[in-house]
Amino acid sequence: MKKIVHYSFVSLVFLAILFPIAKFNKKGTVSQKENRTLAEKPDSPFKFSGYDAYFQDRFGGRNRLVAIANFIDYSVFHKQIKNSRAFKGKNDWFYYIDSKDGNNLNDFYKKNLLTKAELESFRNSVRETAQWCKDNDIKYLFVIGPNKHSVYPENYMEERPEGITRADQMISVFKELGAPCVFPRDFLILQKDKNEAPLYYETDTHWNNLGAYYAFVKIQEELAKLFPNTDFPKIDYDFSVDYSESAGDILPMLGIKTAKSTQVTATPKNGTFSDYFEYVKDEGREGVITNGKKENLPKAIVFRDSFCSALTPYFSTQFSSVEYNWRRMTDDDKKHILGNKVDLIVFEAVERYSLGIAGM
């Protein structure tokens, strides 16, 4: 009997350590659950650290094991759920903290303030971009989407350090150069107390339709200054609030299936969005093109990231056409812009990636 126990034990252990190879995920390139690209096999057999990432991302049983670890922390110990990519803050709010992806934590702790040299470099790139636009008689607008924890620090930690942030430094540069910009952080903080529904998803990195709407209000103010003779459509919106279970883009990183999430839907009071614009192309990262229903409105091109998704419907109502590109502006884009007589270029980036907004 004792021998059977011994044999069973060795067999079980061996099966456990063989499982990662046996069920290795060789083919997939994207983790749907975690909304990220999986590490690829290194191009050289000697790039050992690359293999570590490759194995770690793709070994058999990984997703289930991550879920077990988080179940233990979350359901058994009611622990503050945290790993290197995300954590659960107060009041069931989840935050993204991956230091390899823009580093929200440094923004939060104000540890990434720009040095004089870095500020100068940023100033030069803004100046260069602005000059190119001016030389070609094109209006431009910089839009920075505030990090979730900049608007909701109270759920993130007890106290945010006093003082300015890197984004504040950058806004000073925009103002100093007279470059039009929108950074609606303070406006969103004001608005969040006036609304029952939150402005950001609890389980996601991004602002929701309500948060994006308030950002759009500030964008509209800038548009009115940039195009004083244009009669932009003025649209009132109805917002309906619904509560559902959702994973957002953060929960899969923690191996949690769903948590309570507030969903806000925006609809124009008179009609629907399709009364104001239509999608010519709607392929997300591959590009979005919208055509407005009024031809006398300006034509815009947007260099964007994921924060622009919720802005797209509002923004598209204001133009005869908008081309959304999920990248920073390239030389090819410049040729394309000049060839297509674009009236406005919008440079949009989330706060944690905003240093590159003007091409740095």
Partner 1 sequence: MLFSSITFLGFFLPIVIIIYFALPQRVYKNAVLLLASLLFYAWGEPKFVLLMVASILFNYNMGLIIADNKEHSRKILIFSILVNLGLLFIFKYLGFSCKIINYIIGALHLKNLEEINLLLPIGISFYTFQEITYLVDVYKEPYLSQRNVLNLGLYITFFPQLIAGPIVRYHDINQQIEKRRESFENLYIGFQRFILGLSKKVLIANNMAFVCDSIYDADIFSYGTVAAWIAAVSYALQIYYDFSGYSDMAIGLAKIFGFDLLENFNFPYAATSITDFWRRWHISLTNFFRDYVYIPLGGNRKGPKRTVLYRIFVFFLTGLWHGASFNFIIWGLLHGFSMLIERFLKLDKKSKESKIFSAFYRISSLVIIILFWVLFRNGTKQTIKLYLKMFGINYSRFFTFHPVVSTALYWFNVDVKFYIILATAVLFAFPWWKKIKLSTNQAIQTVAALLKSLALVTLLCLCFSFLANNTYNPFIYFRF
Q: Which residues bind partner 1 (CB under 8 A)?
A: 1-2, 5-10, 12-14, 16-21, 46, 48, 51-52, 55-56, 59-62, 65-66, 68-70, 72-73, 77-80, 82-85, 157-158, 255
Q: Which amino acid is at 301?
A: I
Cβ closest to partner 1, residue 90 vs residue 260: 90
Q: Report the nearest approach of partner 1 to the CB of residue 306 (Å).
A: 23
CB 156 within 8 A of CB 108: yes
- In three-state secondary structure terms, 29 is coil
Q: Which is nearer to partner 1, 61 or 233 (CB)?
A: 61
Q: Cα–Cα distance between 299 and 297 in angstroms, integer?
A: 7
- Measured between alpha carbons, how far is 176 from 16 in angstroms, rounded to an integer? 61
Closest to partner 1 by CB, 17 or 117: 17
When the beta carbons of 73 and 351 are compared against partner 1, the nearer one is 73
Q: How far is the CB of 117 from partner 1 (least distance, A)?
A: 24
Nearer to partner 1, 50 or 356 (CB): 50
Question: Would you say 330 and 302 are in contact if contact means Cβ atoms under 8 Å apart?
Answer: no
Report in angstroms how near the CB of residue 16 gets to partner 1 at its nearest: 6
Q: How far is the CB of 26 from partner 1 (least distance, A)?
A: 13
Closest approach of partner 1 to the CB of residue 108, in Å: 12
Phi, psi of 259 (to 5 degrees): -155, 170
CB 330 within 8 A of CB 356: no
Find out whether 143 and 90 touch, Cβ atoms under 8 Å: no
- Least separation in angstroms between CB 68 and partner 1: 4
Q: Smallest distance from the beta carbon of 61 to partner 1, in angstroms?
A: 8
Residues contacting residue 38 through CB under 8 Å, at least 6 positions apart:
25, 28, 29, 30, 31, 57, 58
Specify burial of residue 244 (Cβ count, 10 A radius: 0-12, 13-18, 19+): exposed
Q: Please, what is the Cα angle at 183 between 202 and 91, to 5 degrees?
A: 20
Least distance in angstroms from the C-beta of 70 to partner 1: 7
Helix (H/G/I), strand (E/B), else coil: 66:
helix
Q: How far is the CB of 73 from partner 1 (least distance, A)?
A: 7
The SS3 assignment for 149 reads helix
Largest CA distance in the chain: 91
Of 166, 274, 163, 181, nearest in space to 226 by CA: 181
Assign 82 to helix, strand or coil: strand
In the bound complex, what is the minimum distance in angstroms from residue 42's beta carbon to partner 1?
13
Under 8 Å between Cβ of 167 and 183? yes
Task: Please state, in angstroms and rounded to a whole number, the distance separating the CA atoms of residues 188 and 175.
Answer: 20
Token pair 């984004």 is found at: 167
